[in-house]
Structures are given as C-alpha cells and as structure tokens.
Amino acid sequence: MSEPLLELKDIKMYFPIKEKVFKKPVNHVKAVNGVSLAVNKGETLGIVGESGCGKSTLARTIVGLLEPTSGDILFEGESILGYNKKQMHELRRDIQMVYQDPYTSLNPRMKAGEIIAAPLKAFKMTSNLNERVYELLDLVGLKREDAEKFPHQFSGGQRQRIGIARALALNPKLLILDEPVSALDVSVQAQVINLLEDLQEELGLTYVFIAHDLSVIKHIADKVAVMYLGKVMELSDSDTLYHHSKHPYTNALLSAIPLPDPEKERQRQRIMLKGELPSPANPPTGCIFHTRCPIAQESCKQHIPALEEKDGKNPNHQVACFYPQETEAIASSN
Amino acid sequence: MLEVKNLKTYIDTENGTVKAVDDVSFQIKAGETICIVGESGSGKSVLAHSVMQLNPSPPVFHPEGEIIFEGKNLLNVNEKELRRVRGKEISMIFQDPMSSLNPVFRVGDQLIEAIRSHEKVSKKAAKKRAFELLTDVGIPDPERRLHDYPHQFSGGMRQRVLIAIALAGRPKVLIADEPTTALDVTIQAQILELMRSIQKKYGTAIILITHDLGVVAQIADRVLVMYSGRIVEKGSVSDIFYRSTMPYTWSLLRSLPRIDSDASERLIPIQGQPSNLIERPKGCHFEPRCPFATKACLEIDPSLTKRGEGHWAACILSEEEFSKKKQELEVNAQKGVAK
C-alpha cells in the first residue's frame, strides 16, 4: 500500500461570532467540525457537499490560508501546522491550488505568460524562464503566442487552463482543486476534466478535488468524501459510493441529480429532503442530519453516529449513520 | 398562445453588431413546458428578455420579427399596454434569487405591491392573497414570514418568494431564466417540483431557460437547442435526447459526465470554444467544432429542416448520413481506446 501524501487528523475550524461591544466571542460557526481524511500519492480524493458544508474552508486550511482551530495536518508524514514562515514558503512549492472562478483568479493587467511565470519568479527559478512558460502552456493545451495575451482575450475554459498552468509551474506534488469546472460551460467542462486526468497520469500528481456536482466527482475521483455541515457523512471508493451508498444524505444527493435521459429520469423515485441546511453556528444535537433525514429515529436526536466501517466487507467504506442497512435497502429499491 | 416569429434581436456594440438572436421562431401552448438550452452566449437569455421586452433599447433592436401574444404583436404595442401584459399575462423569474428582491422592504410588502399593481384590490385583500401565494409556493409559517426581510430567507426560500411574486398576477406564461442554477441540487429538486405542481394547478405555460440537460430531461415537453444565436434543433424531449440529428446536440449529450455511467469511461468533449457572435463564419456556425464537418459546411449555412413530426434540425447531413457518420466515429473511438 502506498503512503498517504496528505493526512488530515480531526480538523476543526471554528469562526467566532463576536458580541457587538466588547468583541467577546459569544458563539462559533463550526465550519469544519472534526474531519479526518487521507490521500495517497497519485490518488484523487473528491470532496462533495452543498454550499455551506465546509468543503472550501477545508481546502483553505490544507493550503495554509487558514489555521485550523484544532487538529493536525500531515504532509509526507510531517506535521505542517508548526511550520514557520520560511518552511511554509517552501511547502507552497509542493501544494498548489486551482480556484473556481477563472474570471477573478487571474490578474487582468498581467499577460498570460507573466501570470504563469509569477510563481517561478517568487521561487527565483528564473533560468530558462521563457522556455518553462512555453512548456507549461504546451502542457495545458495552449499555444506559445497565448503568452502575450491578456486574460480577457481568453474564453472561460482557456482561462482555467492558465490557472492550471500557474499551479503546475513549480512541479507541485499535491493540487487542491476548488470547484475547477463549475464556472465553465458544459461543452468545455469535459475538456478540462480530461486535461486534469491526463496531467495526473503524466506528472504523477495527487488531487484533492472539491465540487458540489457528484457526476463530475464520479469521473475523476478514486475516493469520495461526502460532507454535511462540517462533517464527513460517508467516505468510500467512488464505485461503492455510487452503487451501494449507505448514508441517507448521499442517497438524497444522488437522487436529486437529474439524469440527462428523459425516460429514466421520469421513472425515478426521488428522495426529497425536507427543509434546509441548519445553521452551522447551532448544529442539531445528535446526528446533525436528523432534522432532514427521511429515516431518522428518536435515538438519532441524542446520539452522534461515528464515521466507521459498517459491514466488515469493505474497510474503505465508512459511514456515519446508525441505519446503514435500511438506507442501502431504500437506495436499491429505487 | 404565445408565438415568436422570425425574431431577430441585435445589439449595437463598439466592435460591431452582435446578432444575439437570429431568426428564431417557436410557439407555446397553455400547460406546456418548453426548455431553451444552450451555452453562455448562445442567446437564450436575450431571447427570453426579448419576449418580455426587457432589453434596453438602444443598443438592442429588432430588425425583424413578431412576438404574438393573444393576437397582438408585443413589438408594436405601446408602453402602457406592455406594462399590462408584463407580470400580469407573462411573468418572469430570474437566476439569482439573492439580487432580485429589494433588500430594504419586507417580503410581504413586495408581494402586496406586485398584487396591487395588477389588480385593483384593497390592502387587506392583497395581504390575504399574499398569504395564499406564500402557502402555494410552500413557505412554512407564511403569516410570520410576510414580515421578514429578504436576508432572513435562504436561497431556496427566496426563489420561492420570487415565484410567488411572479404568480401574483395569475400569469398565463411563466418565463424562468436559469431558476435553479444558483441553488444546491437538493433545493433544485424542490423548486422544480414546485414549478410542476403550479403548472398542474393553474395550467401555466412555462418557458424554462437552462444549460443543464438533466433539468431538461426532467421537466420539458419540448426543447429548443440554441447555438450562436439560433435554434439549431427543436423537437419533443425524446426527439432531442434519443433521436437527435444535429451534431451539436448529439456531442453535447455525449460529453456530459453522468452518475449512471461507468466512472472509468473517459469523457468525450466537444473541441474548441463557443463561437464569436460578431464575426460569424460564412457557413455553419458549429463547423469549427463539429466532428462531422465537411468542406460543404464552410459554404452552406443550414436552416432548420423537418426531421419528423415537430422535430427540426439545422444540419446539411440527412438522417441517414448522420447516423452513418455517428457509427464511423464510434468505431474509430473504440479503435483509439484499443491502441
């Protein structure tokens, strides 16, 4: 078995809600509430969830843009939380990020070539700078001449390619991709997904791929974590998750996605979730999903289900629910 | 009920005239749902705004076309008449529920304003109707919610409020411009369900604009596929999904990541970028990205031709040629995988 490249241990990220006058924290928004995950070298971990589930906050803690309230982050077996500025700077060479919005994440006054060269300059890797920029443009499927163009001269998909080239400039080991295709047109999404898959194979990259779209995640991820209100509800290899999900939330998410196939689509039994996402400042007691869960029992209100393996068959499949069998039965009856 | 005939919507810009909607025709009957699908820049939103006459003019103008609603051409009626139709007969909901409500007025007041602008009723009667509307769109505890401000509602709840406002004049046609794009999937499912139940109850005709083919599959009776300002294929929902004879529609469907497919399958993207609306190529606009393009496509700009009852497609390939090319492509693709 290969070594985990990145390990998250019981990460909590709380943001204080301050009182008006003395700025004393009166409560906390529990954006990430005890998440433990690991990604092996060369693997893709997909993180899915609806808005407000804490997936982007988690991404920001991994790249060091936020310092978690508690927990530990190990990169290549070493805790990175105690790193000083210099060590952190070095670490950024290995961990890079691609952002959601290709329109706001590129400086409009810089040419594409300058944008891609910026990380190289920051690390004083300026020998053969132009050659490297051309190499990177080529890698993401852009032309040499494109180095002289400004971001507004590119379409959305091409801009996202520039963002990817910039992230790859320093030969990182880990790429954090925060909704990299959700701002793109459907016809272009597939291009970028394929590009990311090719790059992973060619460069041996490890991905943490964050998205709200389960169908995109399915195509790219080896392992998928489903998050709800700051917690991981289900963690599994992607095939198992899509065919034998054991968590009612995952089931509801899967059933809410409309299939681009009218006959199948109109025969499906849809699991409708009641109500809306509770506030992460005052999460429900017990199982945090019980307020919207279609099969919640009285005991779900009091006890918190742990994220653990349920049937002894597949150690990679972990579920935080007291009724995994019932859930799977409902899922397969549809 | 509503008929759009040869509509052209052009926009003057510094760089030339953008032909945002170019010769589009369609009609919709009561109780029917039409979906307009296309990528950004395909002209689908401009088309919807044209029906409501919401595009600022200038720079927008209509060199040709008619929008006929109940026997009248909306392009010729005066502003007063237009105001009567807008909201009362044809109403619209927008993509972003966060910015479509006025943040400084209570939701109830905004609803009552909408009701009283369509009908001469007392404040009290309007309030009663506002209560009914909120109940209709499934907002819990409507009595109390009438007094809340928009920021006290979540995204899904705000979209419900907007639907309630759109329904205030008991419209015959409801135009929804990407109503669920800003929402999470579980909430999207709730909103689509709501739109369907409203249609059943009131017989409203719905024009839904979306880029999500899953939503189309779920809700549409008929589909218009737009590319580069034109309708390139139209037909019943099964014509489009199972019997498409237009390369763009077909490749778009093929390129989608789907939860019911094999995860290890590689996606088959459409090459290239969406086209530029100012410098139109001479021939077919999809030619640069089309997997089946021939030399003739550079010359001939195909118009919609009939492919079946109510099924039209804009491509120079006949049905037989198209299915032959499709097979060739599949065979080649499999060879490619085998290598």
Helices A112-122 and A129-139, packing angle to 10 deg: 120
Q: Residue ranges of the alpha helices (H) in A225-300?
A: 238-243, 248-256, 262-267
pLDDT at A174: 94
Note if the bond before B59 is cis, omega within 30 degrees.
yes
- Quick check: B259 and A272 CB within 8 A? no
- Quick check: B273 and A242 CB within 8 A? no
- Quick check: B257 and A157 CB within 8 A? no
Instruction: Give residue-wise pLDDT tens across range B159-174.
Output: 889 888 888 888 899 9
- Quick check: A189 and B255 CB within 8 A? yes
B185: which chain A residues are within 8 Å (Cβ-Cβ)?
A: 50, 212-214, 253, 256-257
Rounded distance, CA B105 to CA B264, Å? 51
Q: Which of B230, B221, B227, B272 is nearest to B248 (CA)?
A: B227
- Quick check: B214 and A265 CB within 8 A? yes
B122–chain A nearest CA distance, Å = 33
- Quick check: A185 and B274 CB within 8 A? yes
Q: What is the CA radius of gyration of chain B?
A: 22
Mean pLDDT on B107-127: 88
pLDDT at A215: 87
Rounded distance, CA A80 to CA A77, Å? 9
- Quick check: B217 and A50 CB within 8 A? no
A262–chain B nearest CA distance, Å = 4
- Quick check: A190 and B274 CB within 8 A? no
pLDDT at B258: 82
Phi, psi of A115 (to 5 degrees): -60, -45
Instruction: Decide: B21 and B228 in contact? Cβ < 8 Å.
Output: no
pLDDT at A333: 65
Q: How many inter-chain contacts (A to B, CB under 8 Å) are there?
A: 138
Helices B247-255 and A186-203, packing angle to 10 deg: 50
A218: which chain B residues are within 8 Å (Cβ-Cβ)?
A: 257, 259, 263
Cβ-based neighbours of A128, under 8 Å, separated by 6 or more: none
Phi, psi of A268 (to 5 degrees): -70, 145
Q: Residue ranges of the alpha helices (H) in chain B?
A: 44-52, 79-85, 107-118, 123-136, 142-145, 155-167, 185-202, 213-219, 237-242, 247-255, 296-299, 319-338
Given a cut of 60, whether residue B289 has pLDDT beyond it is: yes
Q: What's the CATH code, domain A4-94+172-333?
A: 3.40.50.300
- Quick check: A187 and B274 CB within 8 A? yes
Kind plus residue range of the DSSP H or E element containing A189: helix A186-203
pLDDT at B271: 82
- Quick check: A276 and B241 CB within 8 A? no
A277: which chain B residues are within 8 Å (Cβ-Cβ)?
A: 154
B12–chain A nearest CA distance, Å = 20
Instruction: Decide: B150 and B185 in contact? Cβ < 8 Å.
Output: no
A213: which chain B residues are within 8 Å (Cβ-Cβ)?
A: 185, 257
The residue ranking higher by pLDDT, B311 or A331, is B311
A189: which chain B residues are within 8 Å (Cβ-Cβ)?
A: 255, 257, 269
Rounded distance, CA B2 to CA B28, Å? 5
Phi, psi of A237 (to 5 degrees): -70, 155
Instruction: Give residue-wise pLDDT tens across range B204-239.
Output: 999 999 988 989 999 999 999 998 888 999 999 999
- Cα dist from A223 to A61, A316, B230, B287, B325, whole Å: 20, 9, 42, 39, 37
Residue type, A286: G
Q: Label residue B339 by pLDDT band (50, 70, 90).
A: very low
Q: Which of B225, B256, B275, B276 to mutate to test the interface with A (most CBs of A within 10 A)?
A: B256
- Quick check: A186 and B216 CB within 8 A? no
Q: Label residue B188 by pLDDT band (50, 70, 90).
A: confident
Q: What is the DSSP letter of A283?
A: P
Global ipTM: 0.80
Search chain A and give the residue with CA nearest B238: A262
Instruction: Give residue-wise pLDDT tens across range A42-100.
Output: 999 999 988 888 888 999 899 888 889 999 999 998 898 888 889 988 898 999 999 88
The residue ranking higher by pLDDT, B330 or A227, is A227
- Quick check: A272 and B193 CB within 8 A? yes
Least confident of A281-285, B53-57, B243-247: B53-57
Which member of B186, B215, B257 has the closest CB to residue A219?
A: B257
pLDDT at B276: 65
B214: which chain A residues are within 8 Å (Cβ-Cβ)?
A: 257-260, 265
* pLDDT averages per 10-residue partition of chain A, 334 residues: 83 87 84 91 91 88 89 91 88 90 88 92 86 91 89 87 92 92 84 91 92 88 92 90 88 88 84 80 88 88 87 82 83 66
| Long-range contacts of residues A27-32, Cβ cutoff 8 Å, at least 24 apart | A27/A281, A27/A282, A28/A281, A29/A280, A29/A281, A30/A229, A30/A230, A30/A280, A30/A281, A30/A283, A31/A57, A31/A230, A31/A280, A32/A57, A32/A58, A32/A61, A32/A68, A32/A230
Note if the bond before A278 is cis, omega within 30 degrees.
no
Rounded distance, CA B150 to CA B154, Å? 8
A125–chain B nearest CA distance, Å = 33
Instruction: Give residue-wise pLDDT tens across range B69-90.
Output: 888 888 888 888 888 888 888 9
A91–chain B nearest CA distance, Å = 32
3-class secondary-structure state, position B29 = coil
Q: Where are the domains of chain B?
A: 102-168, 244-338
Kind plus residue range of the DSSP H or E element containing B4: strand B2-13
Search chain A and give the residue with CA nearest B140: A275
Q: What is the DSSP letter of A148?
A: G
B189: which chain A residues are within 8 Å (Cβ-Cβ)?
A: 255-256, 258, 270, 272-273
Pairing of strands A231-237, A4-18: unpaired
Given a cut of 80, whether residue B151 has pLDDT beyond it is: yes
